[in-house]
Amino acid sequence: MQKIKKYISFFRLRFTMGLQYRAAAAAGVATQFAWGALHILAFHAFYRTDPSAFPMTIEATVNYIWLQQAFLAIFAPWITDNDIFEAIRSGSVSYELCRPVSLYTMWFTRNLSLRFSRVVLRCFPILLVALFLPDGYRLTLPQDLHSFLLFLPSLFLGAFVAASLLVIVYAATFFTLAPQGLRAVVTAASEFLSGFVIPLPFFPDSLRRICEALPFAAIGSTPLRIYSGDLAGQAAYTAFGLQIFWLIALVLCGQLLMRRALRNVTLQGG
**Does 202 reside within a domain?**
yes
Distance CA 104, CA 253 (A): 11
pLDDT confidence band for 11 (50 / 70 / 90): confident
Residue 269 resides in a domain = no
Q: Is residue 99 part of a domain?
A: yes
Judged against a pLDDT cut of 70, whether residue 268 lies above it is answered with no
Section 106-113 average pLDDT: 89
- Cβ proximity of 170 and 256 under 8 Å: no
Residue 65 has pLDDT above 70, yes or no: yes
pLDDT of residue 210: 92
Say if residues 135 and 39 touch (Cβ distance below 8 Å): no
- What stretches of 16-89 adopt beta strand conformation (E)? none
Residue 233 has pLDDT above 80, yes or no: yes
Question: Residue 73: inside a domain, yes or no?
Answer: yes
Which residues are CB-neighbours of 60 under 8 A, at least 6 positions away?
228, 229, 230
Q: Which residue has the higher pLDDT, 244 or 10?
A: 244
- Among the residue ranges 171-180, 195-204, 216-225, the one predicted with the least confidence is 171-180
> How far apart are the C-alpha atoms of 7 and 106, rounded to whole Å?
7
Domain ranges, residue 136 = 2-264
Tell which wins on pLDDT, 113 or 3. Answer: 113
The predicted model gives 26-40 an average pLDDT of 87
CA–CA gap between residue 231 and residue 61 (Å, rounded) = 12
% of the chain at pLDDT higher than 70: 96
**Does residue 270 belong to any structural domain of this protein?**
no
**Would you say residue 68 lies in a domain?**
yes
Question: pLDDT above 90 covers what percent of the chain?
Answer: 35
Q: How confident is residue 98, by pLDDT bands cut at 50, 70 and 90? A: confident
pLDDT digits (tens, 9 = 90+) for 142-155: 888 888 999 999 99
Specify the number of domains making up the chain. Answer: 1
Q: pLDDT digits over 184-203, tens only? A: 888 888 888 888 888 999 99
Handedness of CA 122, 142, 113, 262 (dihedral sign): negative
Tell me: pLDDT of 269 over 60.
no
What is the Cα–Cα distance from 88 to 92, expressed in whole angstroms? 7
In the structure, what pLDDT confidence band is assigned to residue 270 with cuts at 50, 70 and 90?
very low
Average pLDDT, the chain: 86
Does residue 179 surpass a pLDDT of 80?
no
* Arithmetic mean of pLDDT, 231-250: 93
